[in-house]
Amino acid sequence: MNEFRKKFIGEYLEDMIRVLGEIKKNNADFFDKLATIFFEARENNRKIFFCGNGGSASTASHFTSDLAKGTIVEGRPRFKVLSLADNIPQMLAWGNDSCYEDIFVEQLKNLFEPGDVVVGISGSGNSENVLRAIRFARENDGVTVGITGFDGGKIKNMVDLCLVVPVHNMQKTEDVHMLIDHLTTLMMKEEEMARLG
Protein backbone atom coordinates (compact mmCIF):
# COMPACT_ATOMS: atom_id res chain seq x y z
CA MET A 1 0.00 0.00 0.00
CA ASN A 2 1.18 3.54 -0.78
CA GLU A 3 2.76 4.77 2.50
CA PHE A 4 1.57 8.37 2.14
CA ARG A 5 -2.00 7.22 1.58
CA LYS A 6 -1.82 4.69 4.41
CA LYS A 7 -0.67 7.40 6.84
CA PHE A 8 -3.23 9.92 5.56
CA ILE A 9 -6.15 7.44 5.80
CA GLY A 10 -5.17 6.42 9.32
CA GLU A 11 -4.80 9.99 10.56
CA TYR A 12 -8.05 11.13 8.93
CA LEU A 13 -10.08 8.32 10.46
CA GLU A 14 -8.43 8.69 13.87
CA ASP A 15 -9.28 12.39 13.87
CA MET A 16 -12.90 11.61 12.96
CA ILE A 17 -13.07 9.15 15.86
CA ARG A 18 -11.75 11.91 18.15
CA VAL A 19 -14.28 14.45 16.83
CA LEU A 20 -17.22 12.08 17.22
CA GLY A 21 -16.04 11.17 20.72
CA GLU A 22 -16.01 14.84 21.70
CA ILE A 23 -19.49 15.36 20.28
CA LYS A 24 -20.79 12.30 22.12
CA LYS A 25 -19.28 13.61 25.37
CA ASN A 26 -20.17 17.30 25.06
CA ASN A 27 -23.04 17.69 22.59
CA ALA A 28 -25.26 14.60 22.71
CA ASP A 29 -28.14 16.75 23.95
CA PHE A 30 -28.00 18.77 20.71
CA PHE A 31 -29.72 15.94 18.83
CA ASP A 32 -32.47 15.70 21.44
CA LYS A 33 -33.06 19.46 21.29
CA LEU A 34 -33.01 19.54 17.48
CA ALA A 35 -35.57 16.74 17.26
CA THR A 36 -37.77 18.64 19.75
CA ILE A 37 -37.57 21.80 17.63
CA PHE A 38 -38.58 19.86 14.51
CA PHE A 39 -41.42 17.97 16.17
CA GLU A 40 -42.78 21.17 17.75
CA ALA A 41 -42.66 22.91 14.37
CA ARG A 42 -44.72 20.11 12.88
CA GLU A 43 -47.20 20.11 15.75
CA ASN A 44 -47.68 23.87 15.36
CA ASN A 45 -48.02 23.65 11.55
CA ARG A 46 -44.79 25.61 11.05
CA LYS A 47 -42.29 25.37 8.20
CA ILE A 48 -38.62 24.41 8.46
CA PHE A 49 -36.09 26.05 6.12
CA PHE A 50 -32.49 24.97 5.47
CA CYS A 51 -29.73 27.02 3.85
CA GLY A 52 -26.01 26.77 3.15
CA ASN A 53 -23.33 27.36 0.52
CA GLY A 54 -21.19 24.92 -1.46
CA GLY A 55 -21.00 21.58 0.31
CA SER A 56 -23.33 22.97 2.96
CA ALA A 57 -25.91 23.67 0.22
CA SER A 58 -25.77 19.98 -0.63
CA THR A 59 -26.19 19.14 3.04
CA ALA A 60 -29.15 21.53 3.26
CA SER A 61 -30.79 19.77 0.32
CA HIS A 62 -30.02 16.33 1.71
CA PHE A 63 -31.31 17.22 5.20
CA THR A 64 -34.47 18.65 3.61
CA SER A 65 -35.04 15.45 1.67
CA ASP A 66 -34.44 13.22 4.68
CA LEU A 67 -36.73 15.25 6.94
CA ALA A 68 -39.46 15.42 4.28
CA LYS A 69 -39.35 11.81 3.09
CA GLY A 70 -37.10 9.83 5.43
CA THR A 71 -39.26 10.49 8.49
CA ILE A 72 -42.59 9.42 6.98
CA VAL A 73 -44.54 7.11 9.25
CA GLU A 74 -48.04 6.04 8.26
CA GLY A 75 -50.62 7.69 10.48
CA ARG A 76 -48.36 10.59 11.45
CA PRO A 77 -48.27 14.08 9.85
CA ARG A 78 -45.42 15.04 7.54
CA PHE A 79 -42.94 17.89 7.91
CA LYS A 80 -43.23 21.12 5.92
CA VAL A 81 -39.60 21.57 4.94
CA LEU A 82 -37.80 23.52 2.20
CA SER A 83 -34.19 24.07 1.16
CA LEU A 84 -33.47 27.68 0.22
CA ALA A 85 -30.45 26.39 -1.72
CA ASP A 86 -32.54 24.49 -4.28
CA ASN A 87 -34.23 27.24 -6.33
CA ILE A 88 -31.27 28.08 -8.58
CA PRO A 89 -33.07 30.59 -10.86
CA GLN A 90 -34.33 32.56 -7.88
CA MET A 91 -30.92 32.52 -6.18
CA LEU A 92 -29.26 33.71 -9.38
CA ALA A 93 -31.86 36.44 -9.83
CA TRP A 94 -31.26 37.80 -6.32
CA GLY A 95 -27.51 37.40 -6.69
CA ASN A 96 -27.54 39.30 -9.97
CA ASP A 97 -30.14 41.97 -9.22
CA SER A 98 -29.34 42.57 -5.55
CA CYS A 99 -26.33 40.77 -4.06
CA TYR A 100 -25.22 37.24 -3.22
CA GLU A 101 -25.71 37.95 0.48
CA ASP A 102 -29.49 38.25 -0.12
CA ILE A 103 -30.11 34.93 -1.92
CA PHE A 104 -31.67 33.24 1.12
CA VAL A 105 -33.23 36.09 3.07
CA GLU A 106 -35.20 37.37 0.08
CA GLN A 107 -36.76 33.92 -0.36
CA LEU A 108 -37.69 33.91 3.33
CA LYS A 109 -39.48 37.22 2.92
CA ASN A 110 -41.95 35.45 0.60
CA LEU A 111 -42.48 32.35 2.73
CA PHE A 112 -41.55 32.89 6.37
CA GLU A 113 -44.13 33.17 9.16
CA PRO A 114 -43.57 33.65 12.91
CA GLY A 115 -42.70 30.38 14.57
CA ASP A 116 -41.04 28.91 11.48
CA VAL A 117 -37.59 27.34 11.85
CA VAL A 118 -34.45 28.37 9.94
CA VAL A 119 -31.45 26.04 9.99
CA GLY A 120 -28.22 27.65 8.82
CA ILE A 121 -25.42 25.26 7.80
CA SER A 122 -22.01 26.91 7.48
CA GLY A 123 -18.65 25.25 7.97
CA SER A 124 -17.05 28.52 9.05
CA GLY A 125 -20.15 29.96 10.67
CA ASN A 126 -19.50 33.22 8.86
CA SER A 127 -21.37 32.94 5.54
CA GLU A 128 -23.12 36.29 5.26
CA ASN A 129 -26.10 35.00 3.26
CA VAL A 130 -26.75 32.38 5.94
CA LEU A 131 -26.31 34.97 8.70
CA ARG A 132 -28.84 37.29 7.02
CA ALA A 133 -31.39 34.46 6.90
CA ILE A 134 -30.80 33.70 10.58
CA ARG A 135 -31.03 37.38 11.52
CA PHE A 136 -34.31 37.76 9.62
CA ALA A 137 -35.79 34.71 11.36
CA ARG A 138 -34.77 36.02 14.78
CA GLU A 139 -36.23 39.46 14.08
CA ASN A 140 -39.52 37.88 13.00
CA ASP A 141 -40.14 35.50 15.90
CA GLY A 142 -38.59 32.44 14.31
CA VAL A 143 -36.61 29.57 15.80
CA THR A 144 -32.99 29.39 14.66
CA VAL A 145 -30.45 26.57 14.48
CA GLY A 146 -26.78 26.71 13.50
CA ILE A 147 -24.70 23.77 12.31
CA THR A 148 -21.08 24.79 11.92
CA GLY A 149 -17.43 23.92 12.60
CA PHE A 150 -14.03 25.53 13.32
CA ASP A 151 -14.68 28.00 16.18
CA GLY A 152 -18.38 28.40 15.35
CA GLY A 153 -17.97 31.79 13.70
CA LYS A 154 -20.61 34.47 14.10
CA ILE A 155 -23.55 32.09 13.83
CA LYS A 156 -22.94 30.35 17.16
CA ASN A 157 -23.94 33.47 19.11
CA MET A 158 -26.94 34.27 16.89
CA VAL A 159 -29.00 31.09 17.12
CA ASP A 160 -31.23 29.36 19.63
CA LEU A 161 -29.39 26.06 19.19
CA CYS A 162 -25.97 25.36 17.70
CA LEU A 163 -23.59 22.48 17.20
CA VAL A 164 -19.98 23.45 16.50
CA VAL A 165 -18.09 20.47 15.09
CA PRO A 166 -14.78 20.53 17.05
CA VAL A 167 -12.37 20.39 14.10
CA HIS A 168 -10.59 23.01 11.98
CA ASN A 169 -11.05 21.26 8.65
CA MET A 170 -13.89 21.87 6.20
CA GLN A 171 -14.14 18.33 4.83
CA LYS A 172 -14.27 16.74 8.29
CA THR A 173 -16.79 19.36 9.40
CA GLU A 174 -19.01 18.50 6.43
CA ASP A 175 -18.64 14.76 7.17
CA VAL A 176 -20.11 15.34 10.62
CA HIS A 177 -22.84 17.61 9.25
CA MET A 178 -24.15 14.66 7.23
CA LEU A 179 -24.04 12.50 10.35
CA ILE A 180 -26.14 15.13 12.14
CA ASP A 181 -28.72 14.83 9.36
CA HIS A 182 -28.87 11.05 9.37
CA LEU A 183 -28.71 10.56 13.13
CA THR A 184 -31.47 13.10 13.73
CA THR A 185 -33.90 12.04 11.02
CA LEU A 186 -33.47 8.30 11.61
CA MET A 187 -33.90 8.81 15.36
CA MET A 188 -37.08 10.79 14.74
CA LYS A 189 -38.54 8.13 12.47
CA GLU A 190 -37.71 5.34 14.91
CA GLU A 191 -39.27 7.36 17.75
CA GLU A 192 -42.46 7.85 15.76
CA MET A 193 -42.67 4.15 14.97
CA ALA A 194 -42.10 3.29 18.64
CA ARG A 195 -44.94 5.65 19.65
CA LEU A 196 -47.32 3.84 17.35
CA GLY A 197 -46.24 0.53 18.81
Q: Where are the domains of the chain?
A: 30-196
Position 196 scores a pLDDT of 85
Query: Is it the case that residue 197 has pLDDT exceeding 80?
Result: no
Average pLDDT (147-153) is 98
Q: How far out from the chain centre does Cα 23 lie?
A: 16
pTM of the model: 0.96
**Helix (H/G/I), strand (E/B), else coil: 161:** strand
CATH architecture of 30-196: 3-Layer(aba) Sandwich (3.40)
pLDDT confidence bin for 16, thresholds 50/70/90:
very high
In whole angstroms, what is the distance from residue 174 CA to residue 1 CA? 27
What's the pLDDT score for residue 101? 98
- Residue 122 pLDDT level (bands cut at 50, 70, 90): very high
pLDDT average, residue stretch 131-144: 98
pLDDT at 1: 87
pLDDT of residue 124: 97
pLDDT at 99 over 90: yes
Gap between the Cα atoms of 128 and 177, Å rounded:
19
